[in-house]
Amino acid sequence: MVDIRPFKAITYTAKAGALQDLITQPYDKIDQAMQREYYAKSAYNYCRLILPIEENKYEAARQRIQNWLLEGILAKDMEPAFFISRQEFTHAGRRLSRTGIIAALRLYPYEEKTVFPHEITYGEPKADRLNMLRATQKNLEPIFLIYSDPENTTTQFFAEATKTPPTMDVEDSLGVKHTLWKITNPESIKRLKKALADKKLVITDGHHRYESAIAYRDEMRSQGTGTKDSAFNFHMAYLVPVQDQGLVILPTHRLLRNYALTSDTLMTLKRFFTITEIQPTAEDIATFLAAHKNENALAVYDGAKAHGITLKNEAEAAALLNANCQKETCLIDVVILHDMIFKHVMKISALKMDENIIYAETIQNAMAKVDSKQANIAFLVNPIKPEAVWHIAQNGWRLPEKSTNFHPKPVSGLMMMDISPNEKL
């Protein structure tokens, strides 16, 4: 049973300045250059909360929130609300939109089979976000989840609600327009709660924050404070139907640093794959991947040559993959890359992020990293379909890290949620 509740959002006031100078990409998408740019935009830019540049970033974030509330830079709503959130953006030459609901979602451990992960997580990012929760007692960014709505129950509600004037709209630095509608009507709130009550939810973005929030909730419970209605039992969440045509996933390409694409490797690959030499340009690689998007295929670039790789035998591949995973679920390109090519063909037992493996979001960027000797080999992949992510998670299996890149990201800075010990929902 999914429990979503309206909450009293904390938002910027007019005193903070223009909203486009305050919002940011999610904290884990902000590099050092972006961090400096955000700081230069405004003394109240949201980066100063989610990723402070100061050495003690947790204390800096805590003090800023406290001060900005006192100064009237931030203000807390008087009544709880749901928010309908729409992103409008251009992808592959088409103008698309994606609509969902922002709500306080009760935290469910994975074993309860209500919220499902789809990717592997790591201890360091979880420790970082747990420390931020302890310091600020706020959900600074929403977790992004999907659910299935084949009857279009919520979609119909969104269509009705978005006919009214929006509460907030802003365009981010990537050209994505973000629009919010506030829902406070008790009947509308009741309708949305009922529509989501029997759903299963899959995390698309925010695995580390979700798991950190559960750890924080358990810490608070262990202190004997709060009730089942305490806000720390919930997390601010952005929930989108998996059927939404604007639900786009971009690929994340893999680059190896300490390994080479040898003639022996290519010979071994030919046992399992059809190997085709292609022109070593981003355009030709993209053309190959697009032409094989309905097959198990990828491309590889080593700085001199590029090859297209297409799986020959599904049954043979499935036998080499995780024995506990169904064939139709496991035969995903990134899984084939990690479990067949890396482990079986190249004999790589483990890969450490940044040390052995790095990532790139575009073919051009991946090739540039190889050309500049930041990596030796780039493996280029097609994106996973949202439906595949849904089925993988429902089967209780996790993809390799950074297998999905849902686009666009929910922008940070539109609102935060108070999870202080005395806050109730």
- Concatenating the DSSP letter of every residue in 15-67 gives GG--GGGT-BS-GGG--HHHHHHHHHH-TT-THHHHS-SSSSHHHHHHHHHHH
pLDDT on residue 393: 85
pLDDT on residue 398: 77
The pair phi, psi for residue 400, each rounded to 5°, is -60, 160
Sequence-distant (≥ 6) Cβ neighbours of residue 311 within 8 angstroms: 272, 273, 295, 296, 297, 317, 331, 336
Query: Tokens 């297409």 sit at which residue?
Result: 310
Query: Tokens 């909203």 sit at which residue?
Result: 19
pLDDT on residue 88: 97
pLDDT on residue 60: 96
**What gap in Å lies between CA 146 and CA 248, rounded to an integer?**
12
The rounded average pLDDT for each run of 10 residues, N- to C-terminus, in the chain (425 residues) is 97 97 94 95 97 94 98 97 97 92 97 90 85 96 95 94 95 95 96 96 92 95 90 98 91 90 86 91 94 91 92 75 58 84 85 84 93 94 86 79 85 97 95
pLDDT on residue 330: 66
Of 297, 309, 300, 264, nearest to 383 (Cα)? 297
pLDDT on residue 98: 96
**Bridge partners of residue 274, in order along the sequence:** 310
**What gap in Å lies between CA 175 and CA 53, rounded to an integer?**
25
Q: Give the global pTM.
A: 0.88
pLDDT on residue 322: 59
Whether the bond into 165 is cis, omega within 30 of 0: no
pLDDT on residue 314: 75
Query: Tokens 């994505």 sit at which residue?
Result: 176
List the structure tokens of 170.
């802003």
